[in-house]
Amino acid sequence: MATVGFIGLGIMGRPMLKNLLKAGHTVIAYGRNPQKLDACVADGAQRGISNRDVGSRASIVITMLPDGPEVEEVVLGEDGVLAGCEPGTLIIDMSSINPLVSQRIAAACRDRNVDFMDAPVSGGEPKAIEGTLAIMAGGSEVSFGKAEAVLRCMGSSVTLTGPVGAGNTTKLANQIMVACNIAAMGEALALATRCGLDPEIVVNAVKGGLAGSAVLNAKAPMLIARNFKPGFTIRLHQKDLRNALLAGEANHVFLPLTAMVQQMLLSLMGNGKGELDHSAIATFVEGLSREEIEVPSRKS
C-alpha cells in the first residue's frame, strides 16, 4: 500500500480519493475549500496543510484540478508540490489539460529528479464513485509501473497511451467524440419529438443498433427526464474543446465539428447553463427549434 497525496477534492476528486481509501492506501488530502477538505478527512484521509506539505509526505501525489493554470500553480508554485518532493516521488496529474502544459510541468519535475505522468479520466461522477473510470496515461514505462496499481483503484480501464502529453491528447480525442455525440443526439431527438414521437421509445429502438453508444445510454435518460445535475459540466467540457482546438491549431489539424460544438457550449454558458451537466448540450438545439425533448405524458 502506498502513501498517496491527493489535491483537488471536487465532484470527481472526492470519490476517487474514497476509492483509494477503500483499497487500503494512506491518503493525504488537500484543497482550498475547507468544507471539502473536512469531508475528506471525515472519510478517513489525513489532512494536508499545503501543496508543499502533501509533496513532502507522499511517495505518489495525484492532482485533480480544473485546468492547466491551476495544475501549474499547485505543482510548480512557490509553495507547490514539487517544492516539497523528494527525488523519486511520482506526481500524477489526472486533470484534463493542454498536453503542452503537461510536457512543461514534466520538464520542471525532471530537473528535480521527480517523475511526472498525465492520466486524465473519462466517465464522470458516476464512474468516479464506482471506481470504473477510463484512465488514459502518458509517461514512461517505469512511471506507469509505479502508478498502475494505484490507478486501478479508481479505474476499470487503465491504458498507457504514450509519453507525457499522450494521456491528455487521448482525452481531448475522447471529449471531441462525446460532445459531438451529445449534440447529434439532441438534434435527432428534437426531430423525433417534433414529429410526434416519444423520445424514450426512439432511444430504446435505436440503442441496440449502430447508433447505440455509452453516451446515448448515459445521457439520453438525463435529457428526457430534464435531469441536468452535473456529473461533468458544460463549462468544463467547453474548456476541453478549447484545448482540443488549440492542439489542432498547433498540429495543423482542421476540427470543424469541434469548433461548432464549442461555440454551442459558449452560447449555453452565456445563457447561464455552464454548471449544468453536459447532457444539456442538447438544449442548444431545443432553444433554436423551440421543441423540448420530453416524454409526451410529462408535458403540460
Distance, in Å, from the CA atom of 97 to the CA atom of 229, rounded to the nearest integer, reads: 23
Question: C-alpha angle with apex 164: 156 to 134, nearest 5 degrees?
Answer: 15
Predicted confidence (pLDDT) per residue in 16-72, tens digit:
999 999 999 999 999 999 999 999 999 999 999 999 999 999 999 999 999 999 999
Q: Which residue among 171, 219, 239, 273 is the active-site one?
A: 171
| Cα–Cα separations (whole angstroms), residue 232 to 111, 164, 203, 274 | 35, 24, 22, 10
Neighbours of 151 (CB within 10 A): 25
What's residue 106's pLDDT? 98
pLDDT above 60: residue 249: yes
What pTM does this model have? Answer: 0.91
Average pLDDT for residues 100-123, to the nearest whole number? 97
As a whole number, the mean pLDDT across the chain is: 96
**Positions of E strands within 69-169:** 90-93, 115-118, 121-122, 133-138, 155-162
Indicate the pLDDT class of residue 231, thresholds 50, 70 and 90: confident
Pick 169-298's CATH classification: 1.10.3210.10, 1.10.1040.10, 3.90.1150.10, 2.40.30.30.
1.10.1040.10
Question: C-alpha angle with apex 59: 56 to 63, nearest 5 degrees?
Answer: 80
Distance, in Å, from the CA atom of 154 to the CA atom of 227, rounded to the nearest integer, reads: 26
222: buried, middle or exposed (CB in 10 Å: 19+, 13-18, 0-12)? middle
Cell of 88: 523519486
What's residue 298's pLDDT? 67
Residue 290 backbone class (left: φ over 0; alpha: ψ -120 to 50; beta: rest): left
280: buried, middle or exposed (CB in 10 Å: 19+, 13-18, 0-12)? buried
Predicted confidence (pLDDT) per residue in 162-214, tens digit:
999 999 999 999 999 999 999 999 999 999 999 999 999 999 999 999 999 99
pLDDT above 60: residue 150: yes
Neighbours of 218 (CB within 10 A): 18
What superfamily in CATH does domain 3-164 come from? NAD(P)-binding Rossmann-like Domain (3.40.50.720)
What residue spans define the domains of the chain? 3-164, 169-298
Is 171 tagged catalytic? yes
Distance, in Å, from the CA atom of 96 to the CA atom of 297, rounded to the nearest integer, reads: 40
Average pLDDT for residues 144-148, to the nearest whole number? 97
What's residue 24's pLDDT? 97
Residues 6+ apart with CB under 8 A from 252: none
